[in-house]
Amino acid sequence: MRYFIHLAYDGSAYHGWQVQPNAVSVQGKLNGALSTLLRQDIVTTGAGRTDAGVHAACMVAHFDAEGAVDTRRLADKLCRLLPADIGVYGIRAVRPEAHARFDATSRTYHYHVYGRKNPFMRHYAVRLFFTPDYAKMNAAAAELLKATDFTSFSKVDSDARTNVCRVSRAEWVQVEEDHWRFEITADRFLRNMVRAVVGTLLEVGRGRMSLEDFRQVIARKDRCAAGESVAGNALSLVDITYPQDIYLD
């Protein structure tokens, strides 16, 4: 049977979600724990691939297991076996053809920035040493909703078959007086896309790039035209949505 597993993790200690040689990954830890508990080789497929140091308040992966699984009991055992920085929220049976990546209808990321020195935020947000114009950045962010090709914000050596994405929300939101976050939702994301978008928006916010310049960055379909990618530790995957009819319970 096929199952969806809903989990969260602090990505600080990992080289991203995906299994890779000679590096510790979240997927590797999850595969190992599931294989141990179910006494069979389990390989998970994630809804996406977060980069090194990136966090997830909501990640979904699917796996196949021989025979029926007591999902509540397995989730509890996984929480006890996995490291403290990986937590399992639940496991649900799904239709045999359900796919954690391809059936997702939207994904949402948040990126946090702050200004005044705050030792409690340094691991999960990026400190800015300038005060950006958030109104200008939101005007530029609105252009993302009109775009379809995001090549300018994609990792150059990406293996994606297409760079077409549909962004439905992109906005800077004030959390506290000196704390803002960028919220972006799309049907899919390219590798490094959110970090490149944020880096380019910050160029607008500090006056180094105009709104028209930002439009041209999108139009050129050239990664070199965009700003630098920002650090991964301030980025979190916070939501993934699916059609409800894929669940069996």
> Which residue numbers are catalytic?
51
d(CA 126, CA 123) in angstroms, rounded, equals 8
As to burial, measured by CB atoms within 10 angstroms (0-12 exposed, 13-18 middle, 19+ buried), residue 89 is middle
Sign of the alpha-carbon torsion through 22, 25, 27, 28: positive
Rounded (5°) CA angle 239-30-21: 105
